[in-house]
Every structure is written in structure tokens, then in C-alpha cells.
Structure 1
Amino acid sequence: MDIRLTIDGHGVDATLNDSATARDFAALLPLTLRMADFHHTERIADPPRRLDTSGAPEASEPKAGDLAYYAPWGNLAFFYRDGEHSPGLVILGRLDDIGDTGRLASAGRVRVRVESVS
């Protein structure tokens, strides 16, 4: 599924994978998030509810541009730098252009609107 993230007024395209967790995330769209920086690697925010992680791998090693869900905390994580191998991390999809990760790295909280693209 194709989605668009609008990060502080700038559109960024991404594609969700076909996992149960990504489909459950897509069911929440459109969604506006205030994302905080976490470890100078990713932006995190809480979705309105926990996502279904049926059939998800036990762990993932995120790369810059990955959109993910961290099941132990129940939060979304959008990576602008490569992360570490993380148990409970489920990759939802990926930014279409890795060059767009810089928009997530700006200082302070970032407002992100996530919508499906028809």
C-alpha cells in the first residue's frame, strides 16, 4: 500500500508491506502524529491503539527509511538512521526515497500526517 507522510508541510512517499501489522496500521489512516526524537536515530509516537502483530518476526534490524512498530511499548518508530537489532520491532514499510529521512531528523517534535494514497 502506498502512503504519504507529510512532515512539517513537506510530502514524503512511502510503501507499506503486506504484513498483518502494516495492514492494521493502514486501517488507522489518516493519522496525525507528534513525533519525538529517540536516541538520535528515530522518531516515535503512540498510535491510537496497539497494533496486531500476528505472524510478525521476533526481531528486526531497522535501516534508515524504515517505518516500524515497537510492540513492547506499543509505539510507532520512523527511522532516519540505521538502528540496532531489536526484539519486538516489526517493520511496516519504507520511505520510497532514502534521501527524505533528513526531514525526520530535524530538531524538536515533528508533526507527521500519514495518509493512504489512492
Structure 2
Amino acid sequence: MDIRVTLDGRPVDATLNDSPAARDLASLLPLTLSLEDFHGTERIGYPPRRLNTSDAPEPTAAKAGDLAYYAPWGNLAIFYRDGPSADADLLILGHVDADADQLAAADRITIEAAS
């Protein structure tokens, strides 16, 4: 599913996969989140409620540009560096096509359904 993502007012291309958690995120759109840095690897923000994580796919390690959901904390994450090894609680929801510097510096993200 193509989505529209804006990082600090700059639009970038992005897609969501077809997982239940990604479809649940899509049901919350449009969504604007404030982001904070986490461990020099990702920017995180909190959606208004937890996402459905049933039937989650096998865990994979996050790569730069991945949009993910960390189920234990209920936060979304945009990775600007490759993440650590695969974590069963980290669900990859899609990918944001932006360079690492733009992802690392983002303070605000807006996610909308593509028209």
C-alpha cells in the first residue's frame, strides 16, 4: 500500500506491507507524530493506540528506512541506521524512501493514505 509521508514538511515516498499491524496503522491515518531519537539508530513516536499484532510475520532485522512497530512499548519507529538482530517484538510495517540524514533529523512525521 502506497502512503504519503512528510518528514518536517518534506514529502517522501513510502509503502506499507500487507501485515495486520500495517493495515491497522492504515486505519489510523492521517496521523501526525512527534519523533524522538532512540539509541542513535531510529526515530520513535507513539500512535494514539496500540496496533493489532496478531498473525505477525517472522521477525527480521530492521534496515535503514524501515517503518516498524515495537509491540512491547506500542511505538512506531523509523530506522535511519540498520537495527540490531531480528527481534520478535519488532514488526516491520513498511519502508520510507528517504536518505539517512533526513530520517535522523526528523522531528515530526505525518503519514497519510495515498490518494
TM range (shorter): over 0.9
User: In the alignment, which residue of structure 1 is the partner of 2:92?
Assistant: 91
Partner SS for 2:35: strand
User: In the alignment, which residue of structure 1 is the partner of 2:30?
Assistant: 30
TM-score by structure 1 length? 0.90
Question: % of aligned pairs identical?
Answer: 64
Distance (whole Å) between structure 1 residues aligned to residue 112 and residue 65 of structure 2: 17
Distance (whole Å) between structure 2 residues aligned to residue 5 and residue 102 of structure 1: 16
**Runs of 4+ with deviation above 4 angstroms:** none
8 Å CA contact 1:58–1:88 kept in 2: the answer is: no
8 Å CA contact 1:60–1:88 kept in 2: the answer is: no
Partner SS for 1:18: coil
Alignment RMSD: 1.3
1:53-99 Cα distance to aligned partner (Å, 9 max, x none): 0111363310001000000111001111100122300000012x3x4
8 Å CA contact 2:68–2:91 kept in 1: the answer is: yes
What does residue range 1-118 of structure 1 map to in structure 2 within 5 Å? 1-57=1-57, 59-85=59-85, 86-95=87-96, 97=97, 99-106=98-105, 110-118=107-115
C-alpha deviation, 1:22, in angstroms: 0.2
8 Å CA contact 1:7–1:104 kept in 2: the answer is: yes
> Mind listing any 5+ residue stretches in structure 2 that lack a counterpart?
none
In structure 1, give the amino acid aligned to 2:20: A
1:88-114 Cα distance to aligned partner (Å, 9 max, x none): 00000012x3x43321211xx601111
TM-score by structure 2 length? 0.92
> Mind listing any 5+ residue stretches in structure 1 that lack a counterpart?
none
8 Å CA contact 1:16–1:93 kept in 2: the answer is: yes
Paired residues in the alignment total 114
In structure 1, give the amino acid aligned to 2:92: I
